[in-house]
Amino acid sequence: MEVINFAETPSVMSQYMRELRDINIQSDRMRFRANLDRIGQLMAYEISKRIAYDDVTIKTPLADCVCKQPAEEIVVATILRAGLPFHHGFLQIFDNAGNAFVSAYRKYHEKGDTFDVLVEYMASPSLEGKTLILVDPMLATGTSMELGYRALLRKGTPAKVHVASVIASERAVEYVKQRFPEDKTTVWCAAIDPEVNAHSYIVPGLGDAGDLAYGEKEDNA
């Protein structure tokens, strides 16, 4: 399974990542969402280089012209709610893609920092034989990503899978490697951080992406 870490090659994405992580900047929710969107666009562009294309002949005002168009049917899926601005960035590039949404959240136990991940809602077109791009900005443990993927498989088996995150932990990347189909999955990360703390947050990470994008929520009871 191939893992692409964009942090290994400095680019303008590095600037957006710095702003997402900086506590003096990330309190601006609009800017935080915009940076998730922009990273989504850049990552989608890179993924677009990996898909197949067909030749099509079109007419310009002066002559016929052979152009390329995607030969793969693409579905962009996200984990609610933090994934929405990141998802939107992908749609800016794959504007004809189908869309899927999965509600997955942590339900903490009464004592300690342990939790279960619950999936309560899923909406998706058929995925059979299509290219699935599964996007979630924070890949901390990999559990939500896997459960979201398993839920989506009820809509068919995709031909290719791209797992895309803004920040992943080394632990989560290894988890995905073990649980997603190795021969047809590619993992894309803007950065891979070394640790996950006792609360299962990525360190250094950036905090809670959903809260930073949309405001704090009441804990799930």
CB < 8 Å & 24+ apart, contacts of 206-212 = 206/20, 206/21, 206/26, 206/138, 206/167, 207/23, 207/26, 208/82, 209/36, 209/82, 209/137, 209/138, 209/166, 210/81, 210/82, 212/26, 212/27, 212/29, 212/32
The answer as to whether 220 is a domain residue is: no
- Flag whether 219 is in a domain: no
Q: How far is CA 103 from the centre of its chain?
A: 14
Angle between helices 12-21 and 29-48 (to 10 degrees): 150
pTM of the model: 0.91
Question: What value does the mean pLDDT take over residues 23-46?
Answer: 97
CA atoms within 13 A on the CB side of 53: 11
Does a structural domain hold residue 29? yes
CATH of the domain at 44: 3.40.50.2020
Q: Which helix (H) or strand (E) holds 142?
A: none
Confidence of residue 115 (pLDDT cuts 50, 70, 90): low
Three-state secondary structure call for residue 78: strand
Q: What is the pLDDT of residue 80?
A: 84
Whether 56 maps to a domain, the answer reads: no
In a domain, 61, yes or no: no
Q: Does some domain include residue 67? A: no
Residue 59 lies in a domain: no
Q: CA–CA separation, 42 vs 83, rounded Å?
A: 15
Residue 143 Ramachandran class (φ > 0 left, ψ -120 to 50 alpha, else beta)? alpha
Q: Which domain holds residue 43?
A: 2-49+73-214
**Cα-atom radius of gyration of the chain, to the nearest Å?**
18
Domain count, the chain: 1
For residues 117 and 104, the answer to whether their CB atoms sit within 8 Å is: yes
pLDDT in tens, 143-161: 889 989 999 999 999 999 9
**Interstrand relation of 160-169 and 195-196 (parallel, antiparallel or unpaired):** unpaired
Distance CA 150, CA 172 (A): 16
Flag whether 169 is in a domain: yes
194: number of CA atoms within 13 Å, CB side? 0
3-class SS of residue 51: coil
DSSP character at residue 174: H
pLDDT tens figures, 180-212: 999 999 999 999 999 999 888 999 999 999 999
Q: What percent of the chain has pLDDT over 70?
A: 91
